[in-house]
């Protein structure tokens, strides 16, 4: 197919697709003549995936490149693709300051009570521990019930994620959903959490007269 067809089917502008190709996110087409380059369905699929990671998932081009490279190199090992996607996603947040030993220990204990098989080099370990340090910075020590509530919710989402993966047959499609789901699942959850919070907050802390209305600030 022509490059314009790839753009149409993937829903990306021509300049965007050329940029993705130059940055190595989408492979080059095959030259079949002096002025003719041929593209395939795989280009459409890859352009869609790059767009989902960058535009909706908010990944940098460099992070998206890492994730896509892991996807290409390790389609036989989905656990590895998952880990690579997690690393690319978590890099920004966890790169700041290292979490305290105390918070890392607390996350380790939580994993123990849930009986999760997870390793200390999982980037989620550092991310969760850094969040606990942040609570500590305002003098709030999360209770065991608080952590258990979050861990229960995380287990529910992880089981949901894996159920979705098992609904697909083709390993390439499973890997693609794994990568995109890691990125977009965080956004989906954050959105629903805000909606659920609004529901709970208006029940527990009713809005007082005169302070309502999103327009002011």
Which residues between 120 and 139 bind a copy of itself (CB under 8 A)? 121-135, 137-139
Find the shortest distance in angstroms from Cβ 102 to a copy of itself. Answer: 14
Calculate ∠ Cα 121-123-129, nearest 5°.
100
Distance of CA 80 to the CA centre of its chain: 15
Nearer to a copy of itself, 26 or 129 (CB): 129
Footprint of a copy of itself on residues 15-54 (CB under 8 A)? 45, 48-49, 51-52
Q: Which residue(s) pair with 38 in the sheet?
A: 30
Q: Which of 15, 35, 169, 211 binds a copy of itself (CB under 8 A)?
A: 211
User: 49, 183 in Cβ contact below 8 A?
Assistant: no
Q: Give min distance, CB of 32 to a copy of itself, in A.
A: 27
Q: Which is nearer to a copy of itself, 3 or 52 (CB)?
A: 52
Tell me phi and psi for residue 30, to 5 degrees.
Answer: -95, 125
Burial of 59-75, coded b for 16+ CB within 10 Å and e otherwise, reads: beeebbbbbbebbeebe
Closest distance between a copy of itself and the C-beta of residue 194, in Å? Answer: 3
Distance between CA atoms of residues 109 and 118, nearest Å = 12
Piece in contact with a copy of itself (CB under 8 A), picked from 16-24, 25-33, 35-43, 86-94: 86-94
- State the Cα angle at 162 between 104 and 10, rounded to 5°: 110
Number of residues counted as binding a copy of itself (CB under 8 A): 114
Show the binding pattern over residues 170-199: x = contacts a copy of itself (CB under 8 A), - = does not: ------xx--xxxxxxxxxxxxxxxxxxxx
- 136-164: string of b/e by CB count within 10 Å (b at 16+)? eeeeeebeeeebeeebeebeeeeeebeee
> Exactly one of 15, 32, 34, 167 binds a copy of itself (CB under 8 A); which one?
167
Indicate which single residue of 43, 82, 104, 106 sits in contact with a copy of itself (rule: CB under 8 A): 82
CB of 54 to a copy of itself, least distance (A): 10
- Residue list 99-118, contact with a copy of itself (CB under 8 A): 107, 110-111, 114, 116-118
Closer to a copy of itself at the Cβ: 33 or 213? 213
DSSP H or E run through 66: helix 61-73
Asked if 87 interacts with a copy of itself (CB under 8 A), we say yes
Spatial separation of the C-alpha atoms in residues 211 and 30, rounded to whole Å: 61
């Amino acid at each position: 197919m022509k490059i314009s067809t790839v753009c149409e089917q993937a829903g990306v502008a021509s300049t965007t697709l050329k940029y993705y190709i130059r940055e190595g996110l989408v492979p080059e087409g095959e030259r079949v003549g002096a002025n003719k380059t041929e593209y395939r369905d795989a280009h459409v699929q890859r352009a869609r995936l790059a767009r989902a990671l960058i535009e909706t998932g908010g990944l940098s081009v460099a992070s998206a490149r890492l994730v896509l490279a892991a996807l290409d190199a390790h389609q036989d090992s989905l656990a590895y693709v998952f880990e690579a996607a997690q690393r690319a996603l978590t890099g920004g947040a966890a790169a700041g300051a290292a979490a305290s030993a105390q918070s890392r220990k607390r996350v380790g204990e939580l994993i123990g009570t849930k009986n999760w098989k997870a390793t200390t080099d999982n980037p989620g370990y550092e991310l969760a521990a850094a969040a606990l340090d942040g609570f500590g910075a305002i003098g709030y020590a999360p209770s065991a019930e608080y952590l258990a509530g979050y861990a229960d919710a995380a287990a529910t989402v992880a089981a949901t994620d894996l159920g979705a993966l098992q609904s697909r047959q083709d390993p390439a499609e499973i890997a693609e959903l794994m990568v995109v789901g890691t990125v977009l699942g965080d956004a989906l959850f954050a959105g629903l959490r805000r909606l659920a919070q609004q529901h709970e907050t208006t029940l527990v802390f009713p809005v007082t007269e005169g302070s309502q209305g999103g327009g002011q600030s």
